[in-house]
Structure 1
Amino acid sequence: MAVRPPGFGRVGADLRERARDRLLDTALRLFVERGYVGVRVEDIAKAAGVSRATFYKHFSEREEILAELFARLLGREPVAAPPGPPADALPRIRGLLADAATRMVANEQLARFVYTLPIRHASLLGQGARPPVLGVVERMIEEGAAARVVRTDIPPALITAHIARTFEAAMRDWAEGRAADVASHLTLLLDLAFQGVEAAR
């Protein structure tokens, strides 16, 4: 019976993680150079210096790479609501989303690729594809409604969906070169969107 050296399992996991990261980095580079549609699994494997069989040990299909790249962009860290009273829900949401957009565009190549895809690919729309910050936004909308600073005649989930589309539009405008600064552009679009959700005073 062979005896594995101490740490063999960790070393193996590190090697697998590095190989997976190399495939993701290579795929992103090829997607940017040739467009998503113009890149096949074979292209990714060859450029990464691995076989197709090795590719399939890490990803079942090209779409899984796309989903993983989007998850990278969104980040895996939990998002907390900024401090402040529920009565300030909308300004706090504005700041929270501007910060989230700024963090995303720090990974410029990945952010531009994701937000210039000609269609919102199913891999970006499935389970877990919603930026975690939007879950926080929905809770803040609920708090704002309870404090009567957000309309109560519209379900919080619908208001959040509207805000999500606004966030998406701002990111796409930035990625396609129609806005130089994503945070200020997003703030402008949110100001326009919030005029319809703010409670009448």
Structure 2
Amino acid sequence: MLDAALRLFTEHGYLGVRVEDIAKEAGVSRATFYKHFTEREQVLAELFERLLGAEAGPEPVLASPGSGSTEQQVTVLIEDAVRRMVGQEQLARFVYSLPVRHSALLRPGAHSVPPVFAHVSTLLERGVVRGEIRHDVPLPLLTRQVLDALETAMRDWAEEHVQDPLDHVRVMLGLTFGGVTPR
């Protein structure tokens, strides 16, 4: 059903697809659809989890605390996430072209937070302890800033404002870590 929904969402847009359309495309009844999902938004949340979750490929192994700066480690982690998402191009372009903040798609419960989000937070926390990252800003805000850079880069790519999402995410992370004023 998720694959059928993605095909329809890609072809007709999220708002142009009804539950009935998804069920028909998947070859199931509406009742069967409702056995798996309570609403169309749940399908969207599952697609988002597919993009950023374990199904996107093997989870990255966090580098040991002494292997590179926090900025380097976070950049490697985010670049890996971008590569995995681009490997699911149709899904990535669909999700990042939606006019919603992706944190709104995270459902409490079963899958909780995508692994890349948790890994970014862990790396930043290590960076705070090592004195490489500001300690006067709450960790959730630091984490959100990095994830906003990822989301912005992916959205710009999905909307075809940039060709290479990896180059773009590097620029966005550079702004996140270095700011906009010369060092």
Distance 1:87 1:156 in 2: 20
Aligned to 1:103: 84
- For the pair shown, the structure with the greater C-alpha radius of gyration is 1
Aligned to 2:43: 65
Aligned to 1:182: 165
Distance 1:139 1:166 in 2: 17
How high is the TM-score relative to the length of structure 1? 0.80
Q: Aligned-pair RMSD on alpha carbons?
A: 2.1
Contact between 1:59 and 1:65, CA under 8 Å: does it hold in 2? yes
Aligned to 2:107: 126
1:86-132: CA deviation from partner (whole Å, max 9, x where unpaired): 76111111111011111111000000000001223776143356432
Aligned to 1:90: 71
- What SS does the corresponding residue of 1:152 show, helix, strand or coil? coil
Distance 2:159 2:125 in 1: 33
Distance 1:129 1:69 in 2: 14
Contact between 1:66 and 1:123, CA under 8 Å: does it hold in 2? no
- What SS does the corresponding residue of 1:174 show, helix, strand or coil? helix
How far 1:75 moved relative to its partner?
Answer: 2.3
Structure 2, unaligned stretches of length 5 or more? none
| 2:16 maps to 1:33 | no
Identity of aligned residues (%): 51
Q: Which runs of 4+ in 1 moved over 6 A?
A: none
Relative to structure 1, the CA distance from residue 135 to residue 96 in structure 2 (aligned partners, 3 Å threshold; closer, same or farther) is: same
How high is the TM-score relative to the length of structure 2? 0.87
Distance 1:50 1:151 in 2: 52
Relative to structure 1, the CA distance from residue 122 to residue 93 in structure 2 (aligned partners, 3 Å threshold; closer, same or farther) is: closer
Contact between 1:144 and 1:150, CA under 8 Å: does it hold in 2? yes
Aligned to 1:167: 150
- What SS does the corresponding residue of 1:173 show, helix, strand or coil? helix
Relative to structure 1, the CA distance from residue 59 to residue 123 in structure 2 (aligned partners, 3 Å threshold; closer, same or farther) is: farther
Structure 1, unaligned stretches of length 5 or more? 1-22
Tell me which moved more, 52-61 or 73-82.
73-82
The one of 131, 134, 145 aligned to 1:151: 134
Aligned to 1:51: 29
Contact between 1:174 and 1:181, CA under 8 Å: does it hold in 2? yes
Distance 1:96 1:122 in 2: 19
